[in-house]
Amino acid sequence: MLPLLRHARGNRPGRPPSARASSFAATFAERSARYWTPERLQALSGGRDLPLSPDKPGAAALLRVIGLMGSDGSIGSEAVRKFRQINLLLLEVERHLAPHASRPTRKPLRVLELASGQSQLSLLLAHAAAHRWGRPAQVLAVDRDATRVQRAERRAHALGLSHAVVQRRSEIGQLGRPPHLAVALHACDTASDDALAQAVRARSLLIACAPCCHAQLARRWLVQSHPLRTIHTAAHVTDAMRVALLRAAGYRVAASEFAPEHTPKNRLLLAGRLRAGVPATRAAQEEGLAEYVALKSATGGAGIALEGLLGSVGIRT
């Protein structure tokens, strides 16, 4: 059985990673401090206490590495929307993770990011664990694209987070213990279904997924000449079906909008695993399955990819 994480290995030339990362962080902390006057910080945050505000410890280096901060410490107008979006997303995830993150233990939180791309969310969560939470985190970031995985590794190294964020290409494999949190941010179309199914199979205690590009159902409706055949309607129905299927898999699910003023792709599905085997959980699972079947029937009989992917955990419609 594979452990959830293992430390990144291999010698790197030059100074030790921690020294290089510290120097990089110090450089951008200085540039950020020079640029971000109280007036500019107020305009950027809108008066809110944002976790990744440039004046917060370690935030400047993180923002630079993920491409939101310029070489002079500024955040350009095009990047401001993304900056606010990731801050609000992090706050929403933190709110649900708080019961685990605040426990008085040095055992790390186990975090799994699926369809991770260049691991922006993994780096955000590892940063939050180091600077905001009373508990460390170990993050496994999984993506199928080798180039993105290599870039993500370089990003983690630049921030001194190689010990906390491990990249893996292809499938997650078998995990030693269930993650405390599985996350997926804007995985396109059925990639969100793949991510949700992997999180369920991993028995993650919490799941946070911000879906993207809901095209599958719209395509099926187009073939059927369905009267509801719009991407906008398909997005709402797809996510309603995902909520129902997650309930059928034994999760309590809520949907929220984490940054409606900054992006139309702002829906966040938050799921918490219920206690298995008890009557209340079984009843909730039956209700979730019935809800999915009813939604599918009412919208022409076309289902979503998650239905088939959850067959391995016993979901049958």
| Average pLDDT estimate for 259-273 | 74
Residue 1 confidence (pLDDT) above 80: no
Query: What are 140-188's pLDDT values in tens digits?
Result: 999 988 999 999 999 999 999 999 998 887 666 556 789 999 999 877 7
Choose between 3 and 135: higher pLDDT: 135
Dihedral sign from CA coordinates of 65, 70, 74, 76? negative
What would the mean pLDDT of 105-119 be, rounded to a whole number?
91
What the chain holds in terms of domains, given with CATH numbers, is 81-313 (3.40.50.150)
Of all residues in the chain, the percent with pLDDT exceeding 90 is 60
d(CA 262, CA 87): 11
Confidence of residue 105 (pLDDT cuts 50, 70, 90): confident
Q: Which pLDDT band holds residue 9 (cuts at 50, 70, 90)?
A: very low
Q: How high is the pLDDT of residue 262?
A: 47
Asked if the model's pLDDT at residue 222 lies above 70, the reply is no
- As a whole number, the mean pLDDT across the chain is 85
pLDDT for the residue numbered 198: 93
- Predicted confidence at residue 267, as pLDDT, reads 85
| pLDDT above 80: residue 254 | yes
Query: What is the pLDDT at residue 2?
Result: 29
Q: How many Cβ atoms from other residues are within 10 Å of residue 287's Cβ?
A: 13
pLDDT in tens, 225-250: 666 666 778 888 889 999 999 999 99
Per-residue confidence (pLDDT) for residue 168, from 0 to 100: 85
pLDDT tens for each residue of 185-203: 877 767 889 999 999 999 9
User: Of 116-130, 141-155, 219-233, 249-263, which gets the smallest average pLDDT?
Assistant: 219-233
User: Which pLDDT does position 281 carry in this prediction?
Assistant: 96
Span 16-45, pLDDT tens digits: 457 888 899 999 999 999 999 999 999 999
Q: What pTM was estimated for this model as a whole?
A: 0.86
